[in-house]
Amino acid sequence: MTLPPPRRYMPKPDPVDPPGVPARRAALRLLDAVLRQGLPLEAAIGRATAGIERSDDRALAHAIAAEVLRRLPDLDALIDSATKTRLPDDAKARFALRIALVQALSLGTPPHAAISTVLPLVDGGPRKLVHGVFGTISRGGDQLPEQPTLPDPVAIRWHAAWGDDGIEAAERAMAVPPPLDLTLADPATTAAMADALGGVSLLPGHVRLDSAHVPELPGFEAGSWWVQDIAASLPARLIGAGPGSVLDLCAAPGGKTMQLASAGWSVTAVDSSESRLARLHENLERTQLTAEVIVADLLLWSPPAPVDAVLLDAPCSATGIFRRHPDVLHRVRPSQISELAALQAKLFARAADWVKPGGLLVFATCSLEPAEGEEQLTKFLAARADYSLVPITPEELPVGMTPNPGGWLRTLPGMIDPGGNDGFFIARLRRTA
């Protein structure tokens, strides 16, 4: 007779979850990845939702986690108001309560469903506490504020840089889902595409829609447009039309590569990430646009000859895209901003050597940190007498955006109203002949 293995060697069975619970369990894993491990939300989604078959459950997990990240300081304030002893930031009970409360108070889930699908996450643990705190808050009729509150470290940084108005605009931007901005492959089709898609155009070659399911919109399969926030479309627009040779540095997944290719440039797109370049290849295939694509570390790679124009969309903290990626509000630390700023300065200096005399260099970051924008430009201009700014003019920008009197562009969240825009820094420079 064979004996069963001793109990301690038995593998722990996966919990058999009732319907609705797997999505909440995945949301918990996503929040753990962002808040405890410091990973980007998008990088964690594959692993956190592995094993969940239904795409709507995966989408729900993402939606819950993203809304918790948008609402975190307000959710935590509610939880703290209902507990005698403050729960540690990383307590599982706090994570479970955040997930239950955000559903009931922000996502329209009936309270009994919000709590019953979360309690299994704390089975064998603080179930009673979670149930009790959720009940206290629900019975008290507390609501989340209309506008989400920024986490303190971000609010302090952005207040120093952009003042009360900047904070107010950022919080207002988080209160509503961002619109869907499309860049058109052929600007001549702007009016027709705006009509066909039921959107509005804020610039030639741009259409803005309320959020929609992208692959189902007319023109997606045909490659007539790609998704790109209007602020993200400006760096390539500011280079103007080809012909000529252009280096698109830090190019993946290729929004700006496609803009430059469709504007008549002969584009060389360089990026160090093979997986992100795979998406660039897919994008080029769908839009039938062409570019030479090179996988390389730009700290080591150099082009064979100088080019007419260079676009450097430098790696950054990405704090300017907090509306769609609220994880940046919680995981980006000042030390990371400094490290990224040092990398940007190196890439900026290298890129500047690859421009022909008389050619253009555009430097851009999707960051709301002056260290990744204004301060980079000041240092660059002090070091490079062979470059001067080509001032960006209001006529080149959508209504609501104005360039800085110094000639560069700083986009802040609420500049375009309604709908808003991402936070970018953009400077256009010419190398002296």
Catalytic site residue from 34, 105, 366, 429: 366
Residues 364, 367, 371: CA angle, nearest 5 degrees: 90
Instruction: Report long-range pairs for 13-20 (Cβ below 8 Å, ≥24 apart).
Output: 15/120, 15/123, 17/120, 18/117, 18/120, 20/113, 20/116, 20/117
How does DSSP classify residue 182? E
CB atoms within 10 A of CB 340: 21
Nearer to ligand SAM, 253 or 414 (CB): 253
* One residue of 250, 267, 360, 409 binding ligand SAM per CB under 6 A: 250
255 is in an annotated binding site: yes
| 301-330 positions binding ligand SAM, by CB under 6 A | 313, 315
CB atoms within 10 A of CB 386: 14
Site string for ligand SAM, 284-303 (x = CB under 6 A): -------------xxx----
316 is in an annotated binding site: no
Residue type, 185: A
44 is in an annotated binding site: no
Residues 230, 411, 220: CA angle, nearest 5 degrees: 10
251 is in an annotated binding site: yes
Give the pair of three-digit tokens for residue 277.
């370049």
Rg, Å, the chain Cα set: 24
Residue among 18, 28, 79, 26 at smallest CA distance from 51 = 26
Do β-strands 180-184 and 206-209 pair in parallel, antiparallel, or remain unpaired? antiparallel
110 is in an annotated binding site: no
* One residue of 256, 323, 331, 428 binding ligand SAM per CB under 6 A: 256
Residue among 374, 375, 380 at smallest CA distance from 352 = 380
Site string for ligand SAM, 337-376 (x = CB under 6 A): -----------------------------x----------
276 binds ligand SAM (CB under 6 A): yes
How does DSSP classify residue 144? -
Rounded to the nearest whole angstrom, what is the least distance from the CB of residue 219 to ligand SAM in the complex? 19
126 is in an annotated binding site: no
Longest dimension (CA), the chain: 90
Give the pair of three-digit tokens for residue 136.
């206290």
271 is in an annotated binding site: yes
274 binds ligand SAM (CB under 6 A): no
Residue type, 78: L
313 is in an annotated binding site: yes
74 binds ligand SAM (CB under 6 A): no
* One residue of 179, 254, 370, 403 binding ligand SAM per CB under 6 A: 254
Q: Are 253 and 203 in contact (CB under 8 A)?
A: no
Piece in contact with ligand SAM (CB under 6 A), picked from 12-20, 52-60, 253-261, 414-422: 253-261
Nearer to ligand SAM, 22 or 315 (CB): 315
Helix or strand (DSSP H, E) at 214: none
Residue 316 falls in the annotated catalytic set: no
Rounded to the nearest whole angstrom, what is the least distance from the CB of residue 27 to ligand SAM in the complex? 26
252 binds ligand SAM (CB under 6 A): yes
Rounded to the nearest whole angstrom, what is the least distance from the CB of residue 294 to ligand SAM in the complex? 9
273 binds ligand SAM (CB under 6 A): yes
Q: Are 123 and 15 in contact (CB under 8 A)?
A: yes
Nearer to ligand SAM, 273 or 404 (CB): 273
Residues that bind ligand SAM (rule: CB under 6 A) add up to a total of 17
Q: Are 412 and 394 in contact (CB under 8 A)?
A: no
Piece in contact with ligand SAM (CB under 6 A), picked from 33-41, 163-171, 272-280, 351-359: 272-280
Please give the positions annotated as active site.
366
Residues lying near ligand SAM in the complex (CB under 6 A): 250-256, 271-273, 276, 297-299, 313, 315, 366
Which residues are documented as binding site?
Answer: 250-256, 271, 297, 313
